[in-house]
Amino acid sequence: AAARDQVQVAGSSTVLPYASIVAEAFGENFDFPTPVVESGGSSAGLKRFCEGVGENTIDIANASRQIREKEIKACADNGVSDIIEVRIGYDGIVFASQLNGPEFTAFEPSDWFKALAAKVVVDGKVVDNPNMTWADVNPDLPAQEIITFIPGTKHGTREVFEEKVLKQGCEDTGAMQGFLDSGMDEDAAEHACMAVRTDGKSVDIDGDYTETLARIDSNANGVGVFGLAFYENNTDKLKVATMGGVAPSTETIASGEYPVSRPLFFYVKKAHIGVIPGLKEFAEFFVSDDMAGPDGPLSEYGLVSDPELAETQAVVADENTMGSSM
């Protein structure tokens, strides 16, 4: 077999847009061929990443979450032991509705918990969620039927949504305590906090944000969950709501004021550095100020630039693997 001469990247479709912007610029400015960036999800990407070392495996896995313990172990079992973890920035998660729809402009995590939870605590008793309109949840919100489009269980965003919105809301409203009081153990209560009602008020979206947008387009009362970058490209159709009083933007997210966001990563197989032409150069280029800096094209596109970018650059330059640097 002829030797492979381009960098092969796979993984999260959330990271894909950023990776593709970098890859394109990399191909334009370096003598190396343009890297191949595949989509397919963090799981599949990391899985292929961990398949082993060698030409017929990928060099970089994109992930919208940190690699898990079990995955690192699986990797090591297949001989992929030296992994460089690179955090490229943050993805903001925003709540938006139709531009001309009802005034959904300010949410609190507790609103979402009360609107979406499968069970709520009413007068100390755990009952099926009785709330039908947003006004039932919070009198300040429009008296419109609850209809939400949230990421399906395949999406990493769902995890963030559950952790940072539902669970938060659960605790804020005191439902957590109510669950515990009703005799649930810690785990069960947490689970109950994050269980989403199944009566059609909340619709799981297994597709992507385009689908959520299409659904909101045809449903004036719908509220959907989007990535910040997606929202910023579609401000002509969507209006965004504040969460906890903070409007989402790259600044508020970078500063940590806006609560719902998640870090984005890519993982480099150290063993491939020096073997696959351009691999290290690509990784360095990715996190360079030109690309990932606050004024770079990535940030322009919607990536929340990492305040600790310099450290990340150092990690890449020194090829620090996960065990050694963290």
Q: What number of other Cβ atoms are within 10 A of residue 77's Cβ?
A: 11
Among 60, 64, 267, 320, binds another protein (CB under 8 A): 64
**Structural tokens at position 182:** 């009703």
Q: Near another protein by CB under 8 A, which window of 87-95, 172-180, 215-223, 252-260? A: 215-223
Three-state DSSP class for 117? Answer: strand
How near is the Cβ of 147 to another protein at its closest, in Å? 8
* Nearer Cβ to another protein (271/315): 271
Q: Which residue has the tokens 């959904």?
A: 104
Is 166:113 a contact under the CB 8 Å cutoff? yes
How near is the Cβ of 63 to another protein at its closest, in Å? 8
State yes or no: residue 38 binds another protein (CB under 8 A).
yes
Report residue 9: phi and psi, to 5°. -120, 145
Nearest Cα to Cα of residue 195 among 148, 153, 242: 153
State yes or no: residue 210 binds another protein (CB under 8 A).
yes
Report angle CA 263, 248, 199 to the nearest 5 degrees: 85
Letters for 288-317 (x = contact with another protein by CB under 8 A, - = none) are --x------x--xxx---------------
How near is the Cβ of 121 to another protein at its closest, in Å? 20
Q: Near another protein by CB under 8 A, which window of 78-86, 124-132, 174-182, 314-322? A: 78-86
Nearest Cα to Cα of residue 19 among 211, 309, 297: 297
State yes or no: residue 63 binds another protein (CB under 8 A).
yes
Three-state DSSP class for 120? Answer: strand
State yes or no: residue 261 binds another protein (CB under 8 A).
no
Is 32:277 a contact under the CB 8 Å cutoff? yes
| DSSP sequence for 228-264 | HHHHHHTTTTEEEEEETTB---HHHHHTT-S--EEEE
Q: Near another protein by CB under 8 A, which window of 64-72, 105-113, 124-132, 134-142? A: 64-72
Q: What is the dihedral of CA 151, 152, 153, 154, to 10 degrees?
A: -90
Q: What is the DSSP letter of 18?
A: H
State yes or no: residue 130 binds another protein (CB under 8 A).
no
How near is the Cβ of 92 to another protein at its closest, in Å? 13
β partners of residue 10? 61
State yes or no: residue 318 binds another protein (CB under 8 A).
no
Task: Judge residue 235's burial from the number of C-beta atoms within 10 Å of its C-beta, 0-12 exposed, 13-18 middle, 19 or more buried.
Answer: exposed
Among 189, 276, 287, 315, binds another protein (CB under 8 A): 276
How near is the Cβ of 123 to another protein at its closest, in Å? 27
* Nearer Cβ to another protein (281/311): 281
Q: Near another protein by CB under 8 A, which window of 46-54, 104-112, 168-176, 310-318? A: 46-54
- Where in 99-118 is the site for another protein (CB under 8 A)? none
Among 273, 284, 293, 321, binds another protein (CB under 8 A): 273
State yes or no: residue 162 binds another protein (CB under 8 A).
yes
